[in-house]
Amino acid sequence: MATPKAQRIAIWIIAIVMTVGTIGSFLVIILGNKNTQTDQQRINELSTAYQKEYAAYQAKVDKQSKELSDKYYTEFSSYSTRPSAFDGSAVKDLATTDLKVGDGEDIKADTAYSAYYIGWNPSGKVFDQSIDNGTLKAPIEGGNLIEGWNKGVIGMKVGGVREITIPSAQAYGEAGSGTDIPPNTPIKFVVMIIPKPEKLSAPEPSAELLRYYYGQQ
């Protein structure tokens, strides 16, 4: 998945600080005689300002994630015992089981929604999930996911919970995904659809800062 431009800039700035210790020191090493002291000071100012903006954005993201976790953790964590071993060779078609019928908007192919999930393989091994040390991670956005997920949630209602069994061809196919999803492996998910939370937009770096950033590529 491509990293958003704002996140790339934030990573670049953080890397500067971590690698060298200060932005000023980094500039002395990288820019050398190419830039004047005024240039270096200006980049320092722009970088510091952007770091503050990005930190404020991240604080909002963290606050939103916590509020959602506080609201949904108790209910969703009750499904943490759902993963168990299943016969992968018997999975030929996409199948769904509603564990809870929601009372919100119907999910269609183009519906904007967010979701919490637990995913596991035929041995019952959870390969990824929203539950993390007694909290829920930020929900994922629906839409641009694997085919079996995208099709499997259609017909749900917001607030609903569904178990989706996905054949390999509609999951990760011959490529697989990491050690827990070998090639040609069917998988299962428990998915809980929640209303899409307020979109928080990451701050955009200034055009001036971008010029310095792309100058280092």
pTM: 0.77
Q: How are beta strands 114-120 and 187-194 bridged, if at all?
A: antiparallel
**44-53, 62-71, 110-119: which has the minimum mean pLDDT?**
44-53
pLDDT in tens, 28-52: 444 444 555 667 788 888 889 999 9
**16-30, 38-52, 79-93: which has the minimum mean pLDDT?**
16-30
* Residue 134: alpha-carbon gap to chain centroid: 18
CA 129 – CA 117 distance, rounded (Å):
5
Q: What is the pLDDT of residue 37?
A: 67
Q: How are beta strands 131-132 and 95-100 bridged, if at all?
A: unpaired
What is the fold of 83-194? Chitinase A; domain 3 (3.10.50)
The terminus-to-terminus CA distance of the chain in angstroms comes to 20
- Buried b / exposed e along 144-153 (16+ C-beta atoms within 10 A): ebbebbeebb
Q: What is the pLDDT of residue 23?
A: 40
- The mean pLDDT value of the chain amounts to 86
181 or 214, higher pLDDT: 181
